[in-house]
């Protein structure tokens, strides 16, 4: 987290330096354009004064050619493009956007989890309704035991499930041992015959 913060701070420093340089470049461009416009305006004013003083047609043609040359020599002002960028003031915007994104992701995860849990509960509901239809007496007894003491019913169910699992494991081991004993007995018979 500290690395990220240090990187953000270094990026912010670089951005602030770029912003300052960009602003100074824009000021230089604007100053140059203003000085050129002022020079052109002063030249036009001088030409107008000269035109008023010299009204002859020959002088007029000379002045017009000078005006055309002056206008042609004035460079076109470059277009200043403003690029949107992040600076120190937009740090709050970035943090709030990240928080909104994170909260949206968490909300979607919770919604998916709730949907999965709802599906699981619907399956259990269907299974219970089937059991109620197949054996209403048994499910009524299970309901009465559960509603008397839900915690004790859960413990008793876990105890019975563990006992059933132990019995199944013992039966499996018995079958395995019987199979092994039968194989050993067959092997013994085979050895005796030889």
Q: Taking 60 as the threshold, does the pLDDT of residue 56 lie above it?
A: no
24-28, 61-65, 93-97: range with lowest mean pLDDT: 61-65
pLDDT (0 to 100) of residue 59:
63
pLDDT (0 to 100) of residue 127:
87
d(CA 60, CA 56) in angstroms, rounded, equals 6
pLDDT (0 to 100) of residue 101:
95
Q: What is the pLDDT of residues 148-161, one digit of tens each?
A: 888 888 888 888 88
Q: For the packed helices 136-148 and 150-193, what is the interaxial angle rounded to 10 degrees?
A: 120
Q: What is the pLDDT of residues 78-136, one digit of tens each?
A: 666 766 666 667 778 788 888 999 999 999 999 999 999 999 999 988 988 888 898 88
User: pTM of whole model > 0.85?
Assistant: no
Domain segments of the chain as ranges: 2-85
Q: Taking 70 as the threshold, does the pLDDT of residue 60 lie above it?
A: no
SS3 116: helix
**DSSP conformation class of 125:** H
From residue 119, how far is each of 4, 58, 106, 112, 140 by CA, in Å?
Answer: 41, 99, 20, 11, 25
pLDDT band of residue 8 (cuts 50, 70, 90) is: confident
pLDDT (0 to 100) of residue 62:
73
């Amino acid at each position: 987290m500290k690395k990220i913060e240090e990187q953000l701070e270094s990026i912010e420093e670089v951005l602030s330096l770029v912003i300052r340089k960009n602003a100074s470049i824009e000021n230089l461009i604007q100053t140059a354009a203003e000085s050129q416009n002022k020079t052109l305006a002063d030249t036009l004013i001088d030409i107008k004064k000269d035109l008023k003083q010299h009204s002859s047609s020959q002088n007029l043609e000379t002045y017009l050619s000078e005006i055309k040359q002056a206008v042609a020599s004035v460079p076109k002002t470059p277009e200043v493009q403003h690029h949107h960028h992040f600076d120190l003031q937009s740090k709050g915007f970035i943090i709030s956007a990240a928080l909104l994104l994170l909260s949206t992701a968490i909300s979607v995860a919770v919604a998916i989890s709730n949907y999965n849990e709802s599906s699981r509960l619907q399956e259990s509901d269907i299974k219970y309704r089937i059991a109620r239809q197949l054996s209403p007496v048994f499910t009524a007894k299970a309901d009465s035991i559960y509603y008397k003491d839900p915690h004790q019913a859960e413990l008793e169910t876990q105890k019975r499930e563990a006992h059933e699992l132990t019995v199944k494991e013992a039966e499996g081991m018995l079958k395995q041992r019987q199979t092994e004993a039968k194989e050993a007995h067959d092997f013994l018979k085979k050895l005796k015959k030889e």
